[in-house]
Amino acid sequence: MAGLALTTLVGLASSGPVAVAHAAAHPTRHGVPQRATAPMSYRFNGTPTVGALFVPGAYPGSFHTCTASVIRSTSRDVIMTAAHCVTGSGRGYVFVPGYRNGKAPYGVWRVVAAYGSPQWVRHPHHQDTQRDWAFLRVANKTKAGRTVHLQDVVGGNRLGATATAGTAIRVPAYPVGRNDRPINCRTHVYLHGGSPAFQCTGYVGGTSGAPWLAGRGRHRVVIGVIGGLHQGGCTPATSYSARLGKPAHTAFERADHHRRADTFPSPQGDGC
């Protein structure tokens, strides 16, 4: 799986180099790239709307274990990640947009609430992989006597519809670690069964929740997040997303309007 649970995080602290499987498939149709090998991800200096997500107590000083991104909202305080990255109310998780080499260039933002789908939240033993997304609210800050919202600082990407085959995307993400830099890849979407997918190497544990960004500049749209089938996949070369659409937009609107939040169960196994 691409995101790591808190129990896994504890074991990593003394385990040396991290090698976590993520993202795989055997695609044969529906817009699969015809190249013999997947494109390669590359390290880059990050982008303000995407950041590392830390479980409670992990920041600073320990590993980030998932990725999240800012979704443009009227409340200006909503981020999106994978549902399997969240356990409990979400309180205590930390989002660091633009995280790079242990630095927080746009501040540290603490999560105060989480929102998901009933098909994930209310069915802990039968979690619907097509609902593997979550929206988190972060607390505002006060500077010089005025309230500052996350979106005012870093901007945000619009929440779009489910990714379709052939769409060009970029996927900035944070492999599990600390004091490091994110990766990025330019690739295209294809469909594997009913799941959107892309091919690119390097999407190991920690990249769950990374946004699939279509469009450019101020017009970037999130059309998927790493997650869904096998919690994002079983090898580093092929990644999946749950479908978005009305269920995701409904959860987003609940977050945007600060409605009653959810309590997330522990994620089930990835089935790899």
Tokens of 74: 């009227």
Residue 181's domain is classified under what CATH number? Answer: 2.40.10.10
The range of the structural domain enclosing residue 165 comes to: 6-256
Q: Do 86 and 93 form a contact (C-beta atoms < 8 A)?
A: yes
The span from the CA of 258 to the CA of 122, in Å, is 20
pLDDT in tens, 29-55: 334 444 457 899 999 999 999 999 999
Which pLDDT does position 38 carry in this prediction?
Answer: 82
Percent of the chain with pLDDT over 70: 87
What is the per-residue pLDDT for 219? 83
For 52-101, how does the pLDDT look when each residue is reduced to its tens digit (9 = 90+)? 999 999 999 899 999 999 999 999 999 999 999 999 999 999 999 999 99
- Structure confidence by residue, pLDDT tens digits, 236-265: 999 999 999 999 999 999 999 999 999 999
pLDDT of residue 82: 98
- Domain assignment present for residue 64? The answer is yes
Backbone φ, ψ for residue 150 (5° rounding):
-55, -50
User: Does a structural domain hold residue 249?
Assistant: yes
pTM of structure: 0.88
Cα separation, 169 vs 156, whole angstroms: 16
Residue keyed to tokens 């970037």: 220
Rounded mean pLDDT of the chain? Answer: 87
In a domain, 267, yes or no: no
Q: What is the pLDDT of residue 6?
A: 38
Res 2: pLDDT = 54
CA atoms within 13 A on the CB side of 34: 0
pLDDT at residue 36, as a whole number:
53
Residue 12: HSE in the Cβ half-sphere, 13 Å Cα cutoff = 20
Q: What is the pLDDT of residue 193?
A: 87
Quote the percentage of the chain above a pLDDT of 90: 75
CA 108/CA 94 separation, integer angstroms: 7
Residue 21 lies inside a defined structural domain of this protein: yes
Whether 143 is in a domain gets the answer yes
Task: Quote the pLDDT of residue 218.
Answer: 75
Asked, for residue 68, whether it belongs to a domain, the answer is yes
269: in domain? no
- CB 176 within 8 Å of CB 204: yes
As to burial, measured by CB atoms within 10 angstroms (0-12 exposed, 13-18 middle, 19+ buried), residue 21 is middle
Name the domain count of the chain.
Answer: 1
Is residue 144 over pLDDT 90?
A: no
> Do the domain assignments include residue 266?
no
Q: Which among 45, 27, 48 is positioned nearest to 36, based on CA atoms?
A: 27
